[in-house]
Amino acid sequence: MSIVFNLSDQERGVRDLIKNALGSDDTLYAFADEPLYQFNHVKLYNLDIRTRPDAVTYPRTPEQVAAIVGAAAKAGLAVQAKSGGHSYCNFSSPDRGIVVDLRNMKKFSLNTETWRATVGGGMLLGELDNSLYSPHKRAVAHGVCPQVGLGGHATIGGLGPSSRLFGMALDHVEEVEVVTADGQILRASETQHKDLFWALKGAGASFGIITEFVLRTEKAPGETVQYKYSFTSGSWTEMADVFKTWQRFIADPDLTWRFATTATITTLGLSISGTFYGSNSEFEQLSLKPYFPLRESGSTTTVRQNWLDVLTHEAEQVALKLGGGIPAHAYTKTLTFNGSKDNLLDDPGVDKLFSYIEHADKGTLIWFLIFDLAGGNTNTVPMEATAYAHRDALYFLQSYAISDKLISGVSDITKQFLAGVNDVIVNHMKADRVYTDYGAYPGYVDLELGAEAQKLYWRGNLEELERIKAIYDPGEVFRNPQSVRPTVAQSRIATNDVKL
């Protein structure tokens, strides 16, 4: 039960608005005066970014979602959906506004003739995997954190180890049920509200709340090999040579799409790890060992027959690096390496990068630089086919830092270290290119990007997104500090056409 004290006029207004929309069932909402409101309901993931929404709601039906959004639109309040809670800047919890937490919307069904799955917007990736694999032995591609929600993941990209094989999570999305800014419940697909569907597949948080997905599924891989080669005893110069070898290996245009790999740099050194979707004998034919000659203790290879075991191992590796779903003071950056092998970091550039890593002040012991191979099936889709704007990426750099002071935030020194990694790379490679040519993955939200954020996230698709935003959400109901903004001229026209 809420304890009401010293409420502002806005807080009283939000309370009345939500109760009018959802009725008297107080399990459907929580307000900022609730005891332990931030801990029990807001549940910040990145403790470096403090947000305090006016209300967190827990609808059970699309109609209830529509009622919340429609009421918020009339009141001029921001709305953001939350399906897993892993926004790196807590954008799923707007500072003054309403959170629509979809945890009560987890339905699942699978058509065994078409192998299309119908999934609620609040389903977590781990829950989806279990539902697909047992007993159906089906799968979709996605990232490696089981606590992440499908709703945010599959509307911003959804990269993971099997993306080279199957495409990204958003490439599996064939139809959605979505609540738009005017409180309508629409079906969107390649044939219905096609422009909205296009925008949702890459910039979903700016355009609506998806209450239901229809997903294409794949037959789950059978025998799978997971490997890891560790380089922790050599010098940084020796590790730079290993990275050069890794980069030459992945730049091979004929490299099988069944091969996924990551180069991870930490304070302990460098590791090359990943997954091969095939038999151990086929993996051995890739002849990795001549590329990475190792002492026996630095190499592990595990053959797995069960797809869920593969996913569990990947999740465990992330938990060891990043703490899984544990809240922390964190900072993240990304950089995309776009285009052909001619646009990769050359050997002198790699030397500069590893020299910087060796000598830079990091401000924390807990940092990771993760170079993730992309390409494959993901890059067969044209850049303009969806709002996602990195179809030309061969690999991504994902940089993380977590404060090792437990209760204090990430220091400016640490932020400067991660920014410096990107700067060393871009300044070496830039030639006639500008920073925005490289891009940044929008799932790893970076507030330090400032006014360039949207250009880096959506690149050449941004102008079309702004046009569609002006049609479906001219009043910016679905907004956060880095959301898509509507085209101003279009917005004035659309405001007269869209009933709020």
| Structure-token pair, residue 281 | 């004998």
Identify the pLDDT of residue 296: 41
CA distance 498 to 477: 12
> In the prediction, which pLDDT does 92 show?
85
Directed axis angle between helix 307-322 and helix 125-133, to 10°? 170
* Residue 427 is assigned to a structural domain of this protein: yes
Answer yes or no: do 52 and 143 share one domain.
no
Residue 165 has φ and ψ, to the nearest 5°, of -80, -45
Q: Which two tokens stand for residue 263?
A: 């180069």
Give yes or no: residues 155 and 185 share one domain: yes
φ/ψ (deg, to 5) at 159: -80, 145
- State which of 167, 184, 219 marks the end of a domain: 219
Name the residue with tokens 């609808």.
59
Q: Domain check: are 205 and 121 in the same one?
A: yes
pLDDT at 6: 56
Q: The domain that contains 76 carries what CATH number?
A: 3.30.43.10
458 Cβ contact partners less than 8 Å away, ≥ 6 residues apart = 202, 203, 387, 389, 442, 465, 484
Where a domain ends, among 185, 219, 253? 219
Residues 112 and 92 occupy one common structural domain: no
Do 358 and 466 belong to one domain?
A: no
Domain shared by 115 and 231, yes or no = no
pLDDT confidence of residue 303: 87
Q: Could you tell me whether strands 98-101 and 108-111 are parallel, antiparallel, or unpaired per DSSP bridges?
A: unpaired
pLDDT computed for residue 496 by the predictor: 40
CATH code assigned at 408: 3.40.462.20
Residue 396 forms part of a structural domain: yes
- On whether residue 406 sits in a domain, the answer given is yes
In a domain, 346, yes or no: yes
Same domain, yes or no: 287 and 188? no
Q: What is the CATH number of the domain that holds 196?
A: 3.30.465.10
Identify whether residues 347 and 235 lie together within a single domain. yes
In the chain, how many domains are there?
A: 4
Rounded Cα gap, residues 132 and 27, in angstroms: 30
Look at residue 17 and tell me if it is in a domain.
Answer: yes
**In a shared domain, residues 167 and 63:** no
- Please report the pLDDT score of residue 53 as a whole number: 94
> Are both 40 and 27 inside the same structural domain?
yes
d(Cα 191, Cα 86) in Å, to the nearest integer? 31
Q: pTM score, two decimals?
A: 0.92
One domain, residues 208 and 228: no
Is 193 within a domain?
yes
Q: Which of 198, 219, 240 is the last residue of a domain?
A: 219
pLDDT tens per residue across all 500 residues of the chain: 344 445 577 778 899 999 999 999 999 999 999 999 999 999 998 999 989 999 999 999 999 999 999 999 999 999 999 997 778 888 888 888 999 999 999 999 999 999 999 999 999 999 999 999 988 999 999 998 888 999 999 999 999 999 999 999 999 999 999 999 999 999 999 999 999 999 999 999 999 999 999 999 999 999 999 998 888 888 999 999 999 999 989 988 899 999 999 999 999 999 999 999 999 999 988 877 666 655 444 678 888 888 888 877 676 666 555 556 688 899 999 999 876 556 788 999 999 999 999 999 999 999 999 999 999 999 999 999 999 999 999 999 999 999 988 778 999 999 999 999 999 998 888 665 555 567 899 998 899 998 899 999 999 999 999 999 999 999 999 999 999 999 974 544 444 443 32
The whole domain housing 253 covers: 224-304+329-444
- Which residues fall within 8 angstroms of residue 462, CB to CB, at 6 or more apart? 389, 454, 455, 484
Flag whether 214 is in a domain: yes
> Both 213 and 228 in a single domain?
no
Look at residue 2 and tell me if it is in a domain: no
